Amino acid sequence: MNTTVISAMIFGIIQINVHTTLSNDAHASDLKMINDDVVLDTSSNIEWSKDANLAKTLCDSQHILWQSFDPTSVDKGTGRSASSICEQGGKMNWYEAKAWVSHLNAQRFLGYSDWRMPQVAQHDSTCSMQISLPSANNAIGLGQGCLNSEISHLLHDTLNNPLKQHGSCTDNCLSDTGPFHNISQDMYWSDTEVAGDTSLVGVFSVESDWQDAEDKTSDLLHVWPVRKL
């Protein structure tokens, strides 16, 4: 992670009609399976890829969807090949991540053409830090406990995992992953550009339960496709 950018920011497949409840567990009561690959969070009306590291899974299986993706042609990408991205765990810079999601849409992955990356809520009073930025008109919420961001909402409100900032867990706070698999402890990109500075986008770390901002080209992060109903 490029800590310089973070410090600067802180301080200056096809849908079916019958939805089956996943389980009787209260933690999963808002989650419904759409099919084998998509999970609906009814509390936010967001459908999530069941696989939280889809790029790596498709690459490992030599799926045609990944083989037909050409990251070397992505403007402001890293220039890496698809196989190189796979070797690095499916991590991409933001421009590659956007191109990958666009590729999913162009190929109508699972019958949909409106996939995107999760969003973060910039003006979020639930965050542990409220940072005033002239470009944002009012305070930007960063840090831990940002419950209005989509990944955090899924992990904490829907799956009922403890918030790290409350001290109820000190290491890995992800005790309940529900039906999802391949959830990384590392950072995930969001689709949310920072108000007034579109070179930065919101990011979320599962391991540290931390929302922050990152330069689009400064790091390689994971991509979790979602779609809003």
pLDDT tens string 110-144: 999 999 999 988 888 888 888 776 655 666 778 88
Q: Judge contact between 100 and 115, C-beta under 8 A.
A: no
pLDDT band at 194 (very low <50, low <70, confident <90, very high): confident
Q: What is the pLDDT of residue 63?
A: 96
Token pair recorded at residue 202? 């919101």
Percent of the chain predicted with pLDDT > 70: 82
Query: How, if at all, do strands 31-33 and 20-21 pair?
Result: antiparallel
Rounded Cα distance, 143 and 128, in Å: 5
* Contact by Cβ (8 Å): 50, 224: no
pLDDT number for residue 103: 98
Task: Write the CA distances from 229 to 45, 52, 211, integer angstroms.
Answer: 6, 19, 24
Does position 206 have pLDDT exceeding 80, yes or no?
yes
CA distances from 52 to 56, 150, 212 (A): 9, 13, 19
> What does the pLDDT read at residue 168?
62
What is the structure's pLDDT at 133?
A: 66
Rounded to an integer, the average pLDDT of 172-179 is 86
In the chain, % of residues over pLDDT 90: 58
List the domain boundaries for the chain.
3-12+117-228, 20-111
